[in-house]
Amino acid sequence: MVLGVCGIVSALWISPITKWLQVSIFFITALLGAATATTGNITSGIYLIFGLILISQYSLGPCAIWIGAIFSLVPYAIALAIGLSGSSHAFPTQLAADMAVLFGLIVIYGAVLYRHEFRHREDVALLETRVKERTAELERALDERFVMLQEIHHRVKNNLQVIISLLRLEADRQGDTDSRASLEASVQRILAMALVHETLYDTDQLDEIDIVSYARRLIEETRASASAEFELEAEGPSLGGLDFAVPFGLLLNELMSNSEKHAFPPGTRGKVVIRIESKDGMVLRVEDNGIGMSEDVRIDGPKTLGLNLVKVLAQQLGGKISLDRKSGTRWAIRFPSTEPEPRR
């Protein structure tokens, strides 16, 4: 009764201790059955075999296998001899026969188990080989895709550079100052887009771009000969996907152009500070120490192409615009998130 209760509890609650408890219960039951065995009755051997089966199925280790083997050859054989000696004078012969049958059953089970384990190892080895081959194929495909995407960004950048060159040639042909200025503004906008693809081509991550590094390159390459001094300040790293970087670059370009063209009287050289703050998303600040924007110019009212682009691009990125006209012009645009969207 006690052994039965322990067996039920150990079967319901599986742990290293209860696994050994189950094996012990079968061994003790086999030992008690052998000690009370009669001639021709080897029922106790079944419990012994069950205990050995549990050792192999639970993978209790080589130590447990040796314990089971020693138990089968010594304590169990002694208990069986004691049991048979009480029911037969020829118990040595009966003991030898019973042990031979028991040994034969164990050998048969061991052979079946070994064959099963051997075939299992073959299946595992085959599966591992296929996994390695498939992994190598996927890695090659990813490398090819990476190279292909890099080439795409490179070609897009080259095509945009061709467009920039054509616009500059057309601007040189224009005698009208306003027309030339409009074409040059278009050149700056396209250059801001080209820099995104050039930056992605030069990095190992094709799904995100360092916004601060991109902004620094944009300032250096588009404002090298500007009439104002541009300074970049950044707080913390900011990463953004391609869908964020392109509109962001156009937006930054428009704000810098607005400060350069309208903040400072002719013949003067002012300063424009660009701040990128990474907290709860990202905040872009463009501040100048110029004459300030006229109160007649409103974000939600009639506006120039540049201001219209600022509003549209900010809305596209989910940004909220705030404008301070005191002591120069201070733009602040807060974006909720810059991270690239997860792939589906």
Residues 117 and 221 in one domain: no
Strands 271-277 and 229-235: parallel
- 101 within domain boundaries: yes
237-263 confidence digits (pLDDT tens): 678 888 888 888 889 888 888 888 777
Residue 297: predicted pLDDT: 62
Residue 35: predicted pLDDT: 74
- 169 within domain boundaries: no
Contact 192, 252 (CB under 8 A): yes
Residue 93: predicted pLDDT: 62
Contact 218, 249 (CB under 8 A): yes
Domain of 329, CATH number, reads: 3.30.565.10
Question: What span, in angstroms and rounded, lies between the C-alpha atoms of 58 and 53?
Answer: 8
- 187 within domain boundaries: no
Residue 344: predicted pLDDT: 45
Residues 127 and 212 in one domain: no
Residue 21: predicted pLDDT: 75
298-315 confidence digits (pLDDT tens): 666 556 677 788 888 888
Residues 222 and 110 in one domain: no
Residues 121 and 216 in one domain: no
Query: Which tokens go with 39?
Result: 């001639």
Residue 288: predicted pLDDT: 87
- 262 within domain boundaries: yes
Domain end among 112, 134, 156: 134
Low-confidence ranges of the chain (pLDDT < 70): 1-14, 38-45, 57-62, 65-66, 69-70, 72-73, 86-114, 116-117, 205-206, 225, 237, 294-304, 337-344
Angle (nearest 5°) at CA 219 between 216 and 221: 105
**Residue positions counted in the chain:** 344
Which of 222-228's residues contact partners 24+ apart within 8 Å by CB, and which partners? 222/188, 222/191, 222/192, 222/253, 222/256, 223/256, 223/260, 226/260, 227/260, 227/264, 227/269, 228/259, 228/260, 228/263, 228/264, 228/269, 228/270, 228/271, 228/272, 228/288
- 139 within domain boundaries: no
Question: What span, in angstroms and rounded, lies between the C-alpha atoms of 113 and 305?
Answer: 81
Question: What span, in angstroms and rounded, lies between the C-alpha atoms of 192 and 309?
Answer: 14
Residues 240 and 327 in one domain: yes
Residues 126 and 211 in one domain: no
**Full domain range(s) for residue 342:** 207-344
Domain end among 134, 162, 196: 134
Residue 3: predicted pLDDT: 46
- 150 within domain boundaries: no
Residues 124 and 241 in one domain: no
Question: What span, in angstroms and rounded, lies between the C-alpha atoms of 101 and 88?
Answer: 18
- 314 within domain boundaries: yes
Domain end among 105, 134, 163: 134
Strands 271-277 and 239-240: unpaired
Q: Name which of 235, 279, 281, 275 is nearest 255 in CA terms.
A: 275
- How far is residue 28 CA from its own chain's centroid? 52
Number of domains in the chain: 2
Residue 86: predicted pLDDT: 65
What are residue 229's DSSP bridge partners? 271
- 240 within domain boundaries: yes
Residues 338 and 215 in one domain: yes
Residues 127 and 248 in one domain: no
Torsion angle of C-alpha atoms 3, 9, 13, 19, degrees rounded to 10:
0
Phi, psi (deg, nearest 5) at residue 272: -120, 125
Residues 224 and 120 in one domain: no
